[in-house]
């Protein structure tokens, strides 16, 4: 089966400089000006036309191998692609299908699952969200209580998920559910794929600290999904979930958000006339070095993923580095603009207009979602450094 759109050329045969110019020209020429650098995640009704264009061009899945319809980019060119997205202020795609489910099915899915689910991800017909966190089981995923019971050719799901990004804007959700209540916490969990238009599913938006409603609760009331939508073995979902979290931590550990924060920080400094202030410049240089080091680490892990190799527990350091660096940048933006740092929305400063709190609102939850920094440090301590437990 042919997946996606054939590529115009072998992008990896270009030099990095030439590839960057191609990508930059595409983004500068075609991405809508009014959608650049949005302060929140955009809904499909707002940015769907752009990503349908990217799908038609064959650029929707830069991280996928060409045999599955992706661009097949090397680690260095994938980083360039993301850097140019950030440089152009391109809103993030609803990318759980591209970053998570696609690579997961390539590794663990059946041929039938790949034939059924991969093409509509590439065409943007299917948009996925993540059914992991639950009330009282956020970073402790093994504590989840959503149940799935095999009944004939289906699984029947009951339970609740929370903090589900853009669930109201998605067509499908991947769900961790407990299928063996008597097994040890990590051993009785399965990984299921569920269309969101299935009867019994209710989605309720959650308004966040910035007043946006991109998060949601998802309730399952006797929801049936075909047994063919089980990924991997029954009760083997914990292994699948850990693999997927590796993909997520590459995404969350990308330099994109800190680089975005640096752009806002430089703009804030110019508005506050701190461009030549030695104290500010010292702080800025330190953060720029941190982001540069993050890029080096990101390329290392992206290369592993691009080769189709499993990611080790050390990928947790990537998410810690990226999210905590982003928070320090956001804090310095507020410090830089002084009294204006408490104003929400766009404010006038030094003849310029700047959304002072945009980075702050994005940075605060970043050290929590996708596994909190505390959880990531525990993983590194236990599985990388082999430190003893308490």
Just list the catalytic residues: 248
- Rounded Cα–Cα distance for residues 191 and 269 (Å): 47
- Rounded Cα–Cα distance for residues 138 and 154 (Å): 27
Judged by phi (left if over 0) then psi (alpha if -120 to 50, else beta), residue 86 lies in alpha
SS3 139: coil
Q: Judge contact between 327 and 367, C-beta under 8 A.
A: yes
- Rounded Cα–Cα distance for residues 88 and 74 (Å): 21
Judged by phi (left if over 0) then psi (alpha if -120 to 50, else beta), residue 193 lies in beta
Q: Judge contact between 92 and 35, C-beta under 8 A.
A: no
- Rounded Cα–Cα distance for residues 19 and 69 (Å): 19
Let me know if 154 is exposed, middle or buried by CB neighbors in 10 A (0-12, 13-18, 19+): middle
Let me know if 174 is exposed, middle or buried by CB neighbors in 10 A (0-12, 13-18, 19+): buried
- Rounded Cα–Cα distance for residues 327 and 41 (Å): 18
* Residue located via tokens 């590459």: 250
Alpha helices in 307-341 (DSSP H): 316-337
Q: Tokens representing 134?
A: 């639950």
- Rounded Cα–Cα distance for residues 137 and 228 (Å): 27
Within a 10 A sphere around the Cβ of 360, how many other Cβ atoms? 22
């Amino acid at each position: 089966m042919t997946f996606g759109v054939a590529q115009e050329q072998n992008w990896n045969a270009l030099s990095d400089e030439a590839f960057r110019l191609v990508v930059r020209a595409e983004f500068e020429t075609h991405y809508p000006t009014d959608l650049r650098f949005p302060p929140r995640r955009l809904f499909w009704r707002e940015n769907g036309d752009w990503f349908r264009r990217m799908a038609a061009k064959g650029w929707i899945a830069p991280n996928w191998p060409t045999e599955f319809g992706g661009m097949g980019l090397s680690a260095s060119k994938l980083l360039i692609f993301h850097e140019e997205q950030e440089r152009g202020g391109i809103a993030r795609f609803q990318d759980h299908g591209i970053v998570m489910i696609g690579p997961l099915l390539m590794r663990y899915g059946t041929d039938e699952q790949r034939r059924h689910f991969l093409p509509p991800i590439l065409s943007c017909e299917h948009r996925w969200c993540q059914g992991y966190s639950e009330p009282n089981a956020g970073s402790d995923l093994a504590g989840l209580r959503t149940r799935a019971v095999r009944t004939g050719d289906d699984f029947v799901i009951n339970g609740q998920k929370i903090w589900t990004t853009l669930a109201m804007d998605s067509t499908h959700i991947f769900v961790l559910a407990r299928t063996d209540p008597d097994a040890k916490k990590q051993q009785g969990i399965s990984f299921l794929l569920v269309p969101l238009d299935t009867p019994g599913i209710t989605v309720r938006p959650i308004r966040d600290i910035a007043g946006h409603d991109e998060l949601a609760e998802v309730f399952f009331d006797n929801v049936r999904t075909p047994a063919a939508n089980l990924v991997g073995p029954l009760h083997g979902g914990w292994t699948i979930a850990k693999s997927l979290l590796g993909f997520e931590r590459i995404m969350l550990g990308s330099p994109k958000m800190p680089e975005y924060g640096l752009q806002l920080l430089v703009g804030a400094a110019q508005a506050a006339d701190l461009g030549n202030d030695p104290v500010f410049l010292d702080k800025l240089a330190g953060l720029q070095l941190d982001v540069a080091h993050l890029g080096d680490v990101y390329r290392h892990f992206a290369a592993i993923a691009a080769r189709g190799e499993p990611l080790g527990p050390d990928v947790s350091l990537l998410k810690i580095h990226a999210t905590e660096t982003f928070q320090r940048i956001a804090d310095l933006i507020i410090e830089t603009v002084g009294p204006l740092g408490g104003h929400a929305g766009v404010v006038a400063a030094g003849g310029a207009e700047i959304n002072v709190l945009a980075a702050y609102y994005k940075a605060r939850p970043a050290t929590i979602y996708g596994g909190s920094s505390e959880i990531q440090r525990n993983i590194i301590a236990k599985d990388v450094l082999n430190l003893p437990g308490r």
